[in-house]
Copies of this chain bind each other. A is one copy, B any other.
Amino acid sequence: MSRRTTADVPGLVAKARSGDARSVARLISLVEDASPLLREVMALLAPLAGGAHVVGITGSPGVGKSTSTNALVGALRRQGKRVGVLAVDPSSPFSGGALLGDRIRMQDHALDPEVYIRSMASRGHLGGLSWAAPQALRVLDAAGCDVILVETVGVGQSEVEIASMADTTLVLLAPGMGDGIQAAKAGILEIGDLYVINKADRDGADTVRRELRGMLALGERPEGSWNQPILKTVAMRDEGVDEVVEAIDAHLAHLRDSGELARRRALRAREEIEAIAVTSLRERWGDVHARTELDVLAEQVVAGTTDPYAAADELLATYAE
């Protein structure tokens, strides 16, 4: 992963736009590295993004997320679509390249020039999604991807965060994993726009479907809202995958027609702006090399001469000057 800080950003953006995979990769690296060029990259990408349908793919380990993603890429390619894949691994401290891993995971598509595959580690607070993930999405979007699949590698809370980045969230289940209960526990039931029971050739697929249907029926839905479909696949043998793509398309159409797409994306942009603003403030407050106003206030709190709320007011007042 290069850490050079000079680059012909407009040239890279133009080449990425025309389908040059190396330029796409280079732009994502600039974003991930929080390069000084980050702002230039983002400013140039802004008018180009917004065309991609972002589909989040979540599910417990063992349900076949990688295989399903791979099969979905194949189905989307059969429709002639340009596809981006962003695999986010919250458990990995390493980001960027992961090229070998990408090639192994997605070997069917690694050489297809219309498929961009990228792994990212999560570097966010408490194992949350990387702050860089939304920016990487924007790169893939601006590069002309029709669909971007965002897949969590690993487990946990970041699944809910994936959903917050996606237009459409696909929740994968499999028979015989007690998934129904697990999904309910993890709050996954609320986030799914469609549910796919993979490994549907195994015993218990209908039980999972029935349980899931029952749980979904419990939730109240306002009139005209999306009716979450439950589909079955055997991703390994490519069975049922085209139907999943159809359902994904149908959901996008629903989002467009209902105005929900604009609402979701505005919410996402809000969160993104807010997170960047907060990070920027923290950097100003928290320069660990200098003795900052915050350090002085912290010592006063420890000494009991002020309290943390009064100190926070003072910190904000200092900043506003």
- A residues in contact (CB < 8 Å) with B: 38-39, 42-43, 45-50, 126-128, 134-135, 157, 160-161, 262, 265-267, 269-270, 272-274, 276-278, 280-282, 285-286, 294-295, 297-299, 301-313, 315-316, 319-320
Contact = CB atoms under 8 A, between A and B. Distances in A.
Contacts of A161: 126
Contacts of A135: 308
A239 B266 CA distance: 59
A308 B319 CA distance: 21
Nearest to A161: B126
A285 B50 CA distance: 24
A269 B47 contact: no
A269 B281 CA distance: 17
24 contacts: A42-B307, A42-B309, A43-B307, A46-B307, A50-B303, A126-B160, A262-B302, A265-B302, A266-B302, A267-B298, A269-B299, A269-B302, A270-B286, A270-B294, A270-B295, A273-B308, A274-B286, A274-B294, A276-B311, A276-B312, A277-B312, A277-B315, A277-B316, A278-B281
Contact of A309 (B43, B160, B303): B43
A305 B316 CA distance: 30
Scoring A43, A281, A312, A315 by chain B CB atoms within 10 A of each residue's CB, the highest score goes to A312
Contact of A126 (B126, B306, B320): B126
A281 B39 CA distance: 23
Contacts of A265: 302
